[in-house]
Amino acid sequence: MAATADDIDYSDIEEKYQVQYDDGFDNMLVVDGVPVIDKSKLEKLVARICKEFSRKGVSIKPEDVYMPWNDSTGKSQGFIFVEFRNVDDANLALAAMHNHPFDAKHQFKVNRFTDIERYANLDETYIEPETEEYAPREHLRAWLADPQGRDQYVTYRGEDVEIYWHGKPSQSELAMKPDWKDFLYVAWSPLGTYIATLHRQGVRLWGGSSWKPQQRFAHPLVKLIDFSPCEQYLVTWSNEAIVVPEGAPQGPQYLSPDDEGNNIAVWDIKSGDLLRTFSTVSENDSTAAKKQMQWPALKWSPDDKYVARVTAGQMISVHELPSMYLHGKKSLKIEGVVDFEWCPQGDRDREDAEKDALTSTNGAAAKAVKKARENMLVYWTPEVANQPARVTLLGFPSRAILRQKNLFNVTECKLYWQNQGDFLCVKVDRHTKTKKSIFCNLEIFRVREKDYPVEVVELKDTVTDFSWEPKGERFAIVSSNDPNLGNPGPGITIKTDVSFYQLEHGKNDFKLLRTLPSRTSNAIRWSPRGRHVVLATVGSSSKSELEFWDLDFNVEDAGRREGQVSKEEWGSGIQLLGTADHYALTDVEWDPSGRYLATSASSWTHTLENGYAIWDFRGQEITKQIQDRFKQFIWRPRPRTLLTKDQQRQVRKNLREYSRTFDEDDAAEESNVSAELVALRKRLVDEWNAWRMRSKAEFFGDGGQRAGKEGKTHSETEEKEEIEVWIDEVIDQVEEEVVE
């Protein structure tokens, strides 16, 4: 297996794109279809031919034309040789004069001299081209077929990458310890198909059950990468502008001289081809360069059809895939635009889109099928002169403005989509007229409803973190009015409040469920399946708490949740399941199934007790590894389920039956493990007893004299008598005479 980018065999590509060397006849063309003449007409014909060529823009002189003669008949052969000044002229003439009608009977057939030579030398016998043997590619999603349904995670520590299975304690084992070397870090693709390593030479993707290299992207000194949501494309970024050295390999998979000076590249993952490069530095403003670059710089629409990037203050440029041409040949010119976000695709949208695709391929006129929702993006512009700040919801590719909302006294906006694309929250940091204090509004767009109604939640405090419940109608915020907010220093822990809100169906607005006051939590991590949420204090040197909350504690079956909430007391289902502490943690991540949580302390941030821990959703520690030089922990993402909604419902309904088999498995395994352990322990006890007998026998003889003595002491202690003895001891006696 090629382990590093150095060892990769490029010879196939090099051969394919090898430069053909000039053998001196490239500027020579053979023109066929010239009238057959005798010598008397030679001059006239040559003059005529020269004129024809000149008329098409390639001027030739009569002396460049050579006409071979058939000496036996005294007539010309019907073709001529034309020599041009250079290859470019020859190519031009070839394009212009081929199939050129010279007169009613004659049509020029132009060929390169070198070609004629090559075709003449061609072997006439037909050789069946060897069909390349079909090499079946391994299944890139093989890990999903794990009989125990385990998830995987990758750890990067020191120079070592390890990929583990995570399941029940007995099933958690090392899956792979690849010998990848010299890379910055590792990253999974969004559906977990590939794992990427960033090398000096570029990006490498690995995958399949053998963890063989699957693709490579030669972007030297790459620092950041971003996959498109459907794993079709990859964006790479390097802080150094692309330089293509002399003699660098050329081809669709390589950066070409045209790409020099750019630093973002877009690649096709399946073919490995470079699609386009961009520059992040815009020519005309120097302030943008100083600002921290936003990553991902290119934002993908959820269906991989478009990729867009913003030029701050000017426009959003949307490119179509896979051509990477600017959509509609022009960008969206938006004065002052700061940021935008694509609307994510919900499960429903995806189904609709798939049905759409089906009907269009079948050509069947199935108009009954609901048209899939168009892509949407939202952007905001700040206040300029007399214009208010504005949040705009835009349909794409129709470019129709769906909803606009004006805002005043805006300092900053942040855009948060709920992951199904049902809701959009715009977190608006507003300032008072004096600009002294900042407070926060949440403008919530209900995107699924007609006319996109907007509702405002006004808060007095600054909101530091906002998070939607995945697939849910709830969100959580971290707010703070701590005076230290905004000037972080060592040892300062900011006091925060955490609040949960939920959509009230009757009134159609978001109502506070519960506030948890005076915490230090600054990070909200919803379980990917919703319902459970973890509040963490990240990046603090003195606090490192984890709180595990359940928002539907009273609901027995999460499947019957809809419609029941209103009957219960508002917010009564919120329950703290457990608290935990992982000292100096830097990262918190749920596994894709929402059953486990991993926390890690990376040596990229600090060097105190690096390592990771895995907890279950109740906050019980499953494993904890303290490892110095620990850097990264990432769960392997899972693709979306292949089961339809009905099948999922079926599974939920018959959960009891399914779980019975699992319970049996568990029980069997437990007894298996304990049987082994019992055997081991029995052996240990037997060994110990044997040694004790031996050593006693050695010292005291078989069953020896000592036994008697020991027996005596034993019986003494056993027949314990309680004897109470009072001893009056006169320690000192002093007689004192009292003198009156």
Q: Name which position in 285, 609, 616, 621 contacts another protein (CB under 8 A).
A: 609
Residue 688 touches another protein, criterion: CB under 8 A = yes
Residue 608 touches another protein, criterion: CB under 8 A = yes
Residue 700: CB minimum distance to another protein, A: 8
Q: Report the 10 Å Cβ neighbour count for 102.
A: 17
Residue 549: CB minimum distance to another protein, A: 23
Q: Is 644 exposed, middle or buried (0-12, 13-18, 19+ CB in 10 A)?
A: exposed
Residue 583 touches another protein, criterion: CB under 8 A = yes
Residue 706 touches another protein, criterion: CB under 8 A = yes
Q: What is the dihedral of CA 263, 267, 269, 270, to 10 degrees?
A: -150
> For another protein, which is the closer residue by CB, 324 or 622?
622
Residue 696 touches another protein, criterion: CB under 8 A = yes
Q: Report the 10 Å Cβ neighbour count for 577.
A: 16
Residue 684 touches another protein, criterion: CB under 8 A = yes
Residue 621 touches another protein, criterion: CB under 8 A = no
Residues 158, 180 contacting (CB under 8 angstroms): no
The SS3 call for residue 695 is helix
Q: Report the 10 Å Cβ neighbour count for 123.
A: 6
> For another protein, which is the closer residue by CB, 592 or 704?
704
Residue (of 152, 141, 163, 167) closest to 665 by Cα position: 167
Q: Report the 10 Å Cβ neighbour count for 698.
A: 10
Residue 665: CB minimum distance to another protein, A: 24
Give the interface size with another protein as a residue count (CB under 8 A). Answer: 21
Strands (E), 292-422: 299-300, 306-311, 315-320, 332-333, 339-342, 375-381, 389-396, 401-407, 410-417
> For another protein, which is the closer residue by CB, 467 or 610?
610
Render 20-59 in DSSP notation, one character per residue. Answer: PPP-S-TTEEEEE-PPP-BGGGHHHHHHHHHHHHHHTT--
Residue 705 touches another protein, criterion: CB under 8 A = no
> For another protein, which is the closer residue by CB, 673 or 684?
684
| DSSP letter (8 states) at residue 104 | S
Q: Which stretch binds another protein (CB under 8 A): 224-232, 367-375, 405-413, 691-699?
A: 691-699
- Cα 584 to chain centroid distance, Å, stands at 26
> For another protein, which is the closer residue by CB, 729 or 735?
729
The SS3 call for residue 53 is helix
Site for another protein, residues 458 to 477, rule: CB under 8 A: none
Q: Which stretch binds another protein (CB under 8 A): 264-272, 355-363, 467-475, 687-695?
A: 687-695
| DSSP letter (8 states) at residue 91 | H
Residue 210 touches another protein, criterion: CB under 8 A = no
> For another protein, which is the closer residue by CB, 294 or 695?
695
Q: What is the dihedral of CA 89, 94, 99, 104, to 10 degrees?
A: 30
> For another protein, which is the closer residue by CB, 287 or 713?
713
Q: Which token pair is 375? A: 């892509």
Residues 621, 578 contacting (CB under 8 angstroms): no
Q: Which stretch binds another protein (CB under 8 A): 28-36, 215-223, 562-570, 688-696?
A: 688-696
Residue 699 touches another protein, criterion: CB under 8 A = yes
Q: Name which position in 325, 692, 701, 708 contacts another protein (CB under 8 A).
A: 692
Residue 712 touches another protein, criterion: CB under 8 A = no
Residues 207, 196 contacting (CB under 8 angstroms): no
> For another protein, which is the closer residue by CB, 58 or 584?
584
Residue 671 — φ and ψ, nearest 5°?
Answer: -65, -35
> For another protein, which is the closer residue by CB, 593 or 623?
623
Residue 695 touches another protein, criterion: CB under 8 A = yes
- Which uninterrupted H or E stretch holds 668? helix 655-700
Residue 484 touches another protein, criterion: CB under 8 A = no
Residue (of 187, 228, 229) closest to 204 by Cα position: 187
Give the binding site for another protein (CB under 8 A). 544, 581, 583, 608-609, 678, 681, 684-685, 688-689, 691-693, 695-696, 698-699, 706, 710, 717
